Structure 1
């Protein structure tokens, strides 16, 4: 047991050391262009061209669009994402080459397989685990956007109810509401120039495409109707759609609670099964030892 723990610790130390060395090497190359002495030493123009070439190879617009549309932090870019994937692949290659050259075993075959499978499992496509992890983030992100859309309904309704015929156009209303939003704010900012030019249909179509949820599509249709109706009718339409939207959010929240209950129950059931299996295994081993002793006595 002690030898196993010692071997495991050595593997972890090796893994961490190789990873740090690769990261330090990348950091050294990336930052060398900012040091005047190193600029002259490494031929800065060649270095810049090499860095741009590496970035272009690591960059994948499809991944960037996927990350942004699913609400992942701006820090996660395709370049950084692919760098991490190739980092794991580089550690695997270095480890295998080292073992082949020096005829030694630094990592078990299981760990090598796990290390090699990580870059594949990180591909954001079905049936990769990373894909489903991002989907979980997306659901939460969409809930936040829908909460702000519901808030937008309330704010617009309050504007029409409180100011009546003196209510401003949608451009000035949205300009005043922008500071109160976080998740739908980028889409609202993009559509403001179109609203200013009174290109309402294009503006709300842009909003619908940027948010990309059924609720955003519903709001887009409602706001296009409001732009072509009177103040009183607009207030009635907003109130009607707000009630429908509130009911939809309530039903979605009930489904979310039900799914969460299923997940919690599954985890609890899995833990219970593991505990029971441990007890059964202990009993089986005890029974096996007892029967072995009985058989030896019988002989």
Structure 2
């Protein structure tokens, strides 16, 4: 076992896309600010669904696709938490009313799926014809890990693009509910919601550049890569509202994400050494003796790295709060 039937893959993708579509229609039909209980319930549902899918993969294809999916899902889920920081900044920057943030996030998730789907297809074709691309993937992830841990965040990075959009497209100053088009003084204009969608789309493409090479370090099966991304994005909207007030307390989260990206980068380089040896480099045969990183080790590292980063962040945050309360 280990191979998945095409019929199973098609049915699974249709079902998952139907679930996402139903979620989107619910948001459009009833825009509202979800309660903590509602968010927790949906997140639990989507996490449970991912675990059930892993069990189904085990019975359909064996332990290999099941473990690869589970590791890829946890990897993408970890990286998606980093997206939430940027989403919060975007919503605050454009002053999106809380009531309509769900719809904006859902559209952003749909854009993310389309972008990642295209990257996955392109990545699969490139890997099929040029396995040496894993060297580039590995080095890129190591660079991204360094930037994640020590780089400066530029919150205004997309401003030039947004200024260009504003010059080309007439945009109103105020929102009109959740509408994209409105009428102001008899003139048809786009609302700022369009700018939010564009910004989220650009952000999603940027994150895909990091996450897709990372998950190809776990599995080269396009179906598993795409389903792991779907499940990672499911519940991201609810996680945004559930953790929105906590993200500023997770001061060390980016170090955990950097560690994961760095680990996967090294894993990709080791894989490249085995799959595309550079025999013209003196002493390269010695590097080829380094064993490949097994899936169980990748899974364990992801769980431990995120766990340590989150626990350390909460401990330090609680300590600071205690120092602020304690009178000097």
Same fold by TM-score greater than 0.5: no
Q: Looking at both structures, which has the greater relative contact order when contacts are Cα pairs under 8 Å and sequence separation is at least 6?
A: 2
Q: Higher helix proportion, which one? A: 1
Provide the TM-score with structure 2 as the length reference. 0.23
Kindly name which structure, 1 or 2, has the bigger radius of gyration based on alpha carbons: 1
TM-score between both structures, scaled by the size of structure 1: 0.25
